Structure 1
Amino acid sequence: MTWSKDELGRIAATDDLHIAPLRDDRVTLGTPTWIWSVAADGELYVRGYNGQKSRWHQAAIRQKAGRITAAGMTRDVAFEAVDGPINDRIDDAYRAKYAASPYLAPMISARARAATVRILAKT
């Protein structure tokens, strides 16, 4: 399912997304991790600062489900690995949202791009 325009706008405008993929039992949520998020082409994306070695990233890709909290909302979500040309637009979204941050360069590096995840809203 896609995000409503309002929800996506609220999440994209905030800097407080916490991600909690399911644990291996597929029931228990992992510890929420604060992470940068961006919207591109009407979808919500996150990246692993430490690339594919990020613990939350490994769980998200393995379990494909979890929960996020952002902009005063808590939503059950699905996770999907992303690759390809969309990464250029995601880079642009990171540049626009986090231009003043000293952490921007690592978030648009090849390592972080390899750990790009689309977050899909569940009904």
Structure 2
Amino acid sequence: MTEWTPDELDRIGAAEELELASRRPDGTLRPYVTMWVARVGDGLYVRSAYGPEAGWYRRAVASGTGRIRAGGIERDVRFADAATDVHADLDAAYREKYARYAENIVATVVGEHRYDVTVRLVPAG
């Protein structure tokens, strides 16, 4: 299995925002969508602030693959489920990283109401 390099983890994890594009059935990329990204250990994660009906989330789950750009890194990825034991640490990572934003904004990506729309970004071959 391909893993993130320490440099990629540092740069993507520190990036303010991440751009994510899922793949269409023909293999081409959809337009990039900008979102927050958080790191827990050796994992990088995104969450749907607008729940399971958000277009980018539905398309990412359906395709399973795409491309991300953040921190000067551009990489093909797979979209995977997050382990259930990561959510509390991920909530803390989002709160710490985005603490300068109002709580009502950060609350869109933290808490149990977002656990089921958490995507682990896995580098593709």
Q: TM-score range by the shorter chain?
A: over 0.9
Does structure 1 conserve the Cα–Cα contact (< 8 Å) formed by 2:11 and 2:72?
A: no
Counterpart in 2 of 1:117? Answer: 119
Counterpart in 2 of 1:44? Answer: 44
- Deviation at 1:53? 1.1
Counterpart in 2 of 1:64? Answer: 64
- Separation of aligned partners in 1, 2:50 and 2:7: 30
Counterpart in 2 of 1:15? Answer: 16
- Separation of aligned partners in 2, 1:34 and 1:7: 18
Q: Percent identity at matched positions? A: 33
- Deviation at 1:51? 1.2
Equivalent positions of 1:75-90 (< 5 A) are 75-90=75-90
Give me the CA root mean square deviation.
Answer: 1.3
State yes or no: 1:93 paired with 2:93: yes
- Deviation at 1:16? 2.7
Counterpart in 2 of 1:30? Answer: 30
- Separation of aligned partners in 2, 1:113 and 1:54: 15
Unaligned runs of 5+ in 2: none
- Separation of aligned partners in 1, 2:26 and 2:122: 17
- Separation of aligned partners in 2, 1:74 and 1:105: 28
- Separation of aligned partners in 2, 1:16 and 1:84: 24
